[in-house]
A and B are shown apart, each in its own frame.
Chain A
Amino acid sequence: ETGVTQSPTHLIKTRGQQVTLRCSSQSGHNTVSWYQQALGQGPQFIFQYYREEENGRGNFPPRFSGLQFPNYSSELNVNALELDDSALYLCASSFSGPYTEAFFGQGTRLTVV
């Protein structure tokens, strides 16, 4: 059984650019969620995908978008990067259902300059 893996681990981008972050879900999990963790804060929910459909979104603008693929891997895309987008981006996978734990990848540290 493989865990959740994210790529890349670190990334530096310029304001206004676009970025794509990738996540491979844990084997057997059908739900993937993305979180943004700013320094000194808890992770904040961006959105969630279940069977390739977005089924929940947090308070993030439309320039944050995502995809889930048939093998349940996922991408997070951010357009028109802003300095405040600098954060740790975490991917989590789980089984669907109300009483399940989510398992996180190691995160991608994005720095926007």
Chain B
Amino acid sequence: GNSVTQMEGPVTLSEEAFLTINCTYTATGYPSLFWYVQYPGEGLQLLLKATKADDKGSNKGFEATYRKETTSFHLEKGSVQVSDSAVYFCALSEGGGYQKVTFGTGTKLQVIP
């Protein structure tokens, strides 16, 4: 079956540091890939997505590239802010008739001033 593996947290960074959160996946077909973010006390929000190999998703300074050869979708940001502190979930969805999403376990990011 499908699965998503992401690096364990928590990750603690100083403001303006470079962020990488690793994510790899296992899927039987050609999934769409996502990063969701959960800010403290809030619901899950879609951060970015990529629907086919070599696509780059980007939003709010975050980027991730769909790498089929390495089955990876690593999240990066060049300069993190305190407001980026949240839990980040890598996820995938198989194509076809519906979009059941398989999530990773989440990586907590804490950015300190």
**A, B from the same assembly:** no
Task: Please give the residue numbers on chain A whose beta carbons come within 8 Å of chain B beta carbons, in ascending order.
Answer: none
Task: Please give the residue numbers on chain B whose beta carbons come within 8 Å of chain A beta carbons, in ascending order.
Answer: none
